Amino acid sequence: MTGNPVPTSTQQFILGEGLRWDGRREELLGVDILAGQIYRGHIDHDGAVSLIRDYWVPGTVGALAPIDANDGWLLAAGRGFVLLRPDGLLCPLAQVAPAGTRMNDGACDPQGRFWAGTLADDFRPGGGALYRYDQKGHTQVVLSDLTISNGLGWSPDGSIMYLADSGPRTVHAFRFNGDSGTISNGRVLITMTEEVGAPDGLTVDAGGDLWVAIYGGGRVHRYSPQGVLREVLSVPGAQCTSCAFAGPELNRLYVTTATEGWSDEQRSAEPAAGLVYRFDTDATGRPADPFRPDPKWWTAATS
């Protein structure tokens, strides 16, 4: 079973999201989408998170991924993909999303392609899409007609890809071909009622269970690979946005929350909202898969 939530931050994020465990440096990564903030954290022996450094980008930043054989990070930011160097310099790589939309959550598949979704600025149904950015910098729209493309994850054997669409409150499962980077046989694995909330960020543990942050529900749901609800974790913040296993043992679940659309007065009245929380669990997670660029293309694109 899972323990009680423990706050690990003091900053009230506007839209905290995108938690990832960067195995290269053993750091917890995260973003504040609307503030354009990226942060790196060190996890102490007791699970507390101390800030190493944060970075800022113009506009929004939806997600980030470590990069294989590189010290930087690949961002899904604004309307495209950007390299963030450790010194804070930004190298734009591709602008792909149409005007009136922005990049949202994203993650790398086991082979090193970066997948990232979008949503429309007005949240209109069908205004979002899912993009695949491959190892040679080629971009393809894999899914369209989404609303709020959100959490992504893969089964431990890499045969299934999961995708949350927060608009219709569904989590999809697709057959995944790692060689070609294609999906097929899509089906709705999980559907949530409006009273429960909407699926947001998610992670898949080493045993194959899905841990899904529930926006508007103040909770994280743990599901079996078959979509059966196994556990509910209560979080002190209704806008629960993402989760990731982190730390040396990868058995602590870190959860972001948000205060999206709130006034300063509301944030002061609800000091527990917008923080990052952790849970001690009986599960073991996995580090974030890195982006694995083709060296020749990468050198030319980033020099």
Among this protein's residues, is 200 annotated catalytic? yes
Q: Terminus-to-terminus CA distance in the chain, angstroms?
A: 49
- For residue 275, give the nearest of 254, 256, 260, 262 by alpha carbon: 256
Q: Where are the strands (E) in 134-206, listed by range?
A: 139-146, 149-154, 160-165, 170-177, 182-191, 198-204
Catalytic residue among 105, 165, 200, 209: 200
Is residue 124 a contact partner of residue 118, using CB atoms and an 8 Å limit?
no
Angle at 139 between CA 294 and CA 291, to 5 degrees: 40
- For residue 72, give the nearest of 24, 34, 17 by alpha carbon: 24
Active site residues: 200
